[in-house]
Amino acid sequence: MPELPVRCAGIALRNPLLLASGIWGESGESLARAWTAGAGAVITKSIGSLPRPGYPNPTIESYERWGMLNAMGLPNPGIGEYPREIAVALGAGATVIGSIFGGDAEEFASLAVAMAKTGVCAIELNLSCPHAQGYGSEIGSDPAQVEEVVRAVTDAVPLPVIAKITPNAADPAGLAAAAERGGAAAVSAINTLRALAIDVELRRPILAHRLGGLSGPAIKPIGLACVWQIRERVRIPIIGVGGIASGQDVLEYLMAGASAVEIGTQVAFEGIGAFGRIGRELSELLERLGFARASDATGAAHFATG
């Protein structure tokens, strides 16, 4: 059978299937369960400087076939409380990546220093939340701010830094290039797409915050396009995100240029058993297509098209 271990941003992963931030990441126990179920690494919820309650309900609208719309508002216990959850996951042997969000470069750097002390192997910067005012994509849509934040964090901590790229901008690949200039070890792409759902009976948006972020199968072609374009602009590794529900989805992202992927919405729908199933499907598909290693598939579609 093909070898599934890969390296991404200098991190040794037992397979390329990562638990995406925000899914099963509220507690150390849930992170540990995702690891035990077969995730190659687990990414925490996005953690801020202070506790944040998030938005009032309703915060999620699910669609059976094509995904999920959410506007959670970045709820989290704050960096002062969350390290104990990371300790639980690390105690289970998990490879843990810490996700953080902030309002400016200084706050990101301060959070990164605190997160680095917890024992995580890398830090993912949430530069792309589409529904939290003052955070996320408001910073992540500006290449100059992306470069500034990434440089501040890489100067502050010795860990690999992963910049999560928004699709809600004119040039996501340009944002990835800015992250590379700032010293990012990798980028993850994409985060959710800004979207809206309407309740026609009540004549108003379904989500309390009105606008939310769309994830799931509907955004996979957009995610693939962004990964493809980013691969042509940067030399650092890419983690593909968006609509991954099968082994073939993973392989498409790898061939588009990703070294690993993050899985979120499918885990929310199916549970953590998704990791084992998708891993088996990927292994079988790699073998059928003649790949000895998952890493051999990275960028294969670029090589074929010249």
User: Is 129 in the active site?
Assistant: yes
Q: Write down the pLDDT at residue 305.
A: 54
- 19 alpha-carbon distance from chain centroid: 8
- Among residues 85, 97, 31, 61, which one has the least CA distance to residue 241? 97
More reliable by pLDDT, 73 or 241: 241
Confidence of residue 134 (pLDDT cuts 50, 70, 90): low
More confident residue, 64 or 55: 55
| Geometric angle at alpha carbon 248, from 244 and 249, rounded to 5° | 25
Residue 239 lies in a domain: yes
Least confident segment among 124-133, 158-167, 168-177, 224-233: 124-133
Q: What is the mean pLDDT of residues 25-37?
A: 96
Q: What pLDDT digit, counting tens, does each position of 251-261 carry?
A: 999 999 999 99
Residue 212 lies in a domain: yes
1 in any annotated domain: no
The catalytically annotated residue of 8, 121, 129, 226 is 129
Reply yes or no on whether the pLDDT at 306 is more than 90: no
Q: Is the predicted pLDDT of residue 235 greater than 60, yes or no?
A: yes
Residue 101 lies inside a defined structural domain of this protein: yes
> Would the pTM of this model clear 0.85, i.e. be above it?
yes
The whole-number pLDDT of residue 26 equals: 86
pLDDT at 303 (0 to 100)? 84
User: Residue 194 domain-assigned?
Assistant: yes
3-state secondary structure (DSSP) of residue 34: helix
Instruction: Indicate the number of domains in the chain.
Output: 1
- Average pLDDT of the residues of the chain: 95
Residue 223 scores a pLDDT above 70 = yes
Q: What share of the chain is helix, strand, coil (3-state, %, to 5)?
A: 40, 20, 40
Domain with residue 170: its CATH number is 3.20.20.70
Range of the domain at 107: 6-305
Residue 231 lies in a domain: yes
Query: pLDDT band at residue 23, thresholds of 50, 70 and 90?
Result: confident
pLDDT at 132: 55
